[in-house]
């Protein structure tokens, strides 16, 4: 089967699947009948759009919302995918163009409003053009007892039979009755492969820690888990090698893994990891696909992952056996600067870059969360939950303080120096430090000079990092990473909004099990 990862990246611009997507994509692509229940915002559309590209022929997508269909068609076309819609909103010319593209075999995705099924002619035409899959969005509309009942949805079952192709149904409505009705009406009672699982992996302990002395933090984390299998993810190939060496010197059985290694050497590591107990693999994200060792006891990130999706996927390699597993993700201002620069310097079009920044913000929000991390993580994927009792913030609730004044002082230091400086120099200004740079620039004459002595350097660093994490300030790659204020900071500066930050952000890595150091 075609590999989905390149399409995921090149067409959709995503670096990882969201929870649940990979399994659904695989089943739909393989031609199974599928019923998938995912929360709203969880990423359902990818689960039929990606298989549509992987399969021969055209995929018919039935959806009740014309505006949504048009959005999706536009987005697909912008990504270079040939897609069209047949809805009552079309002009006759548009409709003709869609049919012509279909006849030519040019279309990969055809969106259709259910009303179109009412005239028998559509079925006849669809039969001729090589439909290979039917995807039904908002499948609960078939339920006569639901609020969203659409009588034309009842015709979908007949369409499936007439075309003799697999059907994939998607909905966010999880109650049993609706599910049963979908199975009866759309699948003629033959049970489809069903995907209904929460995304939570409750046995995985979640923790983040500010990068302090990263190598020491990773070594301590591993030392407290001696003899257990674990993975350390690093941002660069070079780092995998140096960290693996440091771990080996510290008495662990450890090796490195990255995409620059010979295929043969990589295979050796993969085999060792699956067979041996207690091996630590220090790797780039190249390590993971196809690795399904059930008893990985821990995953650590020496550098911040790319997105919240990547984070979830990577920590998800721990504890597949359901037994307790631990994770720790290190992050610091340098990571944020690097990830922002990667996005800004990438070749992606502007909308996609904006989406990438937003996804990075979501991960940073998780890193700097004030309450239960799992709750925040699941909420991002559309799932509601209570405090989990199995994350660092549930273990030790962070102390927060009203940072409105501190943030205003920091913003004012940024603006008074015309957004040309990084956190280090800005902190020197706030603390009233006597440095050459400050004297040379005359920054000791600024009204903000020395107004921040209520905090020390470390605390200011935490404030600046959290401001970056909240996207109140962003490093500008065209100004050597100088911090610039974002729109989000304006209300705080104007005194229209307040902000709480964590006091203790520079915390030591996570709880330590059995062994105390
Ligand atoms: P729904 O399940 O409500 O139909 P969508 O398919 O519209 O959700 O997806 C919700 C959002 O999630 C969209 O903004 C989409 O771009 C984003 N998304 C979907 N899959 C991924 C992924 N693998 N990585 C990152 N973002 C994703
Ligand atoms: Zn929690």
Average pLDDT over residues 152-181: 91
Mutate to test the pocket of ligand 1, among 15, 46, 61, 362 (most ligand atoms within 8 A of CB): 46
Q: What is the pLDDT of residue 504?
A: 64
CB atoms within 10 A of CB 188: 13
* pTM, 2 dp: 0.78
Pocket of ligand 1 (CB under 6 A): 14, 17-18, 21, 38, 40-46, 309
CA of 324 to the centre of ligand 2 (A): 14
Q: What is the pLDDT of residue 506?
A: 43
Average pLDDT over residues 299-305: 97
Cβ proximity of 430 and 450 under 8 Å: yes
Q: What is the pLDDT of residue 469?
A: 81
Q: How far apart are CA 410 and CA 422, in angstroms?
A: 11
Average pLDDT over residues 349-364: 84
Q: What is the pLDDT of residue 497?
A: 94
The closest residue, in CA terms, to atom 3 on ligand 1 is 41
Q: What is the pLDDT of residue 2?
A: 57
Mutate to test the pocket of ligand 1, among 7, 11, 21, 43 (most ligand atoms within 8 A of CB): 43
Average pLDDT over residues 307-336: 92
CA of 12 to the centre of ligand 1 (A): 10
Q: How far apart are CA 313 and CA 146, in angstroms?
A: 34
Q: Tell me the pLDDT band of 124, cut-offs 50, 70 and 90.
A: confident
Tell me: pLDDT of 272 over 90.
Answer: yes
CA of 75 to the centre of ligand 1 (A): 12
The values of phi and psi at residue 323, to 5°, are -80, 160
Tell me: pLDDT of 199 over 90.
Answer: no
Least confident of 93-97, 142-146, 225-229: 142-146
Average pLDDT over residues 478-490: 88
The residues, any chain, with a CB within 8 Å of residue 265's CB and separated by 6 or more, are none
Average pLDDT over residues 233-256: 97
Ligand 1 atom with minimal separation from the 8 CA: 23
Least confident of 109-113, 260-264, 286-290, 364-368: 286-290
The residues, any chain, with a CB within 8 Å of residue 327's CB and separated by 6 or more, are 204, 205, 206, 207, 298, 299, 300, 301, 315, 318
CA of 243 to the centre of ligand 1 (A): 35
Ligand 1 atom with minimal separation from the 40 CA: 3
The closest residue, in CA terms, to atom 12 on ligand 1 is 43
């Amino acid at each position: 089967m075609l590999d989905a990862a390149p399409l995921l990246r090149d067409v959709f611009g995503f670096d990882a699947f969201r929870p649940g997507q990979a399994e659904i994509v695989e089943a739909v692509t393989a031609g199974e009948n599928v019923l998938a229940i995912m929360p709203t915002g969880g990423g359902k559309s990818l689960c039929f759009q990606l298989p549509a590209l992987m399969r021969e022929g055209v995929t018919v997508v039935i959806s009740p919302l014309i505006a949504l269909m048009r959005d999706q068609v536009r987005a697909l076309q912008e990504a270079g995918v040939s897609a069209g819609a047949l809805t009552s909103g079309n002009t006759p010319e548009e409709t003709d163009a869609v049919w012509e593209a279909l006849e030519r075999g040019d279309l990969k995705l055809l969106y259709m409003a259910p009303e179109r099924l009412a005239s028998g002619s559509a079925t006849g035409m669809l039969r001729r053009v090589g439909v290979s899959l039917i995807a039904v969005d908002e499948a609960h509309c078939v339920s006569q007892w639901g609020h969203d009942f659409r009588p034309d949805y009842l015709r979908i079952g007949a369409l499936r039979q007439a075309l003799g192709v697999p059907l994939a149904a998607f909905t966010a409505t999880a109650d049993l009755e609706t599910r049963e009705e979908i199975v009866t009406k759309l699948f003629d009672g033959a049970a489809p492969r069903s995907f209904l699982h929460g995304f939570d992996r409750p046995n995985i302990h979640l923790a983040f820690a500010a990068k302090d002395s990263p190598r020491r933090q990773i070594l301590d984390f591993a030392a407290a888990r001696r003899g257990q299998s674990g993975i350390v993810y690093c941002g660069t190939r070079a780092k995998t090698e140096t960290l693996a060496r440091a771990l080996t010197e510290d008495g662990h059985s450890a090796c490195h893994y990255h995409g620059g290694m010979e295929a043969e050497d990589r295979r050796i590591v993969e085999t060792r990891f699956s067979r041996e107990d207690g091996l630590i693999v220090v790797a780039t994200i190249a390590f993971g696909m196809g690795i399904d060792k059930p008893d990985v006891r821990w995953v650590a990130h020496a550098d911040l992952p790319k997105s919240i999706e990547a984070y979830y996927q990577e920590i998800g390699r721990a504890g597949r056996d359901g037994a307790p597993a631990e994770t720790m993700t290190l992050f610091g201002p340098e990571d944020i600067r690097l990830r922002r620069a990667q996005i800004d310097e990438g070749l992606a079009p502007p909308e996609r870059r904006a989406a990438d920044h937003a996804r990075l913000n979501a991960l940073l929000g998780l890193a700097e969360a004030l309450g239960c991390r799992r709750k925040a993580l699941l909420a991002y994927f559309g799932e509601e939950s209570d405090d989990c009792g199995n994350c660092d913030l549930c273990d030790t609730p962070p102390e927060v303080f009203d940072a409105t004044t501190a943030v205003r002082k920091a913003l004012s230091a940024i603006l008074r120096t015309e957004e040309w400086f990084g956190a280090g120099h800005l902190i020197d200004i706030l603390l009233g430090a006597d440095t050459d740079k400050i004297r040379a620039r005359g920054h000791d004459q600024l009204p903000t000079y020395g107004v921040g002595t209520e905090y020390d350097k470390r605390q200011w660093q935490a404030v600046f990092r959290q401001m970056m994490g909240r996207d109140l300030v962003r490093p500008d790659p065209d100004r050597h990473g100088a911090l610039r204020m974002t729109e989000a900071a304006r209300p705080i500066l104007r005194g229209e909004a307040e902000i709480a930050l964590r006091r203790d952000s520079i915390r030591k890595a996570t709880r330590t099990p059995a062994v105390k150091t």
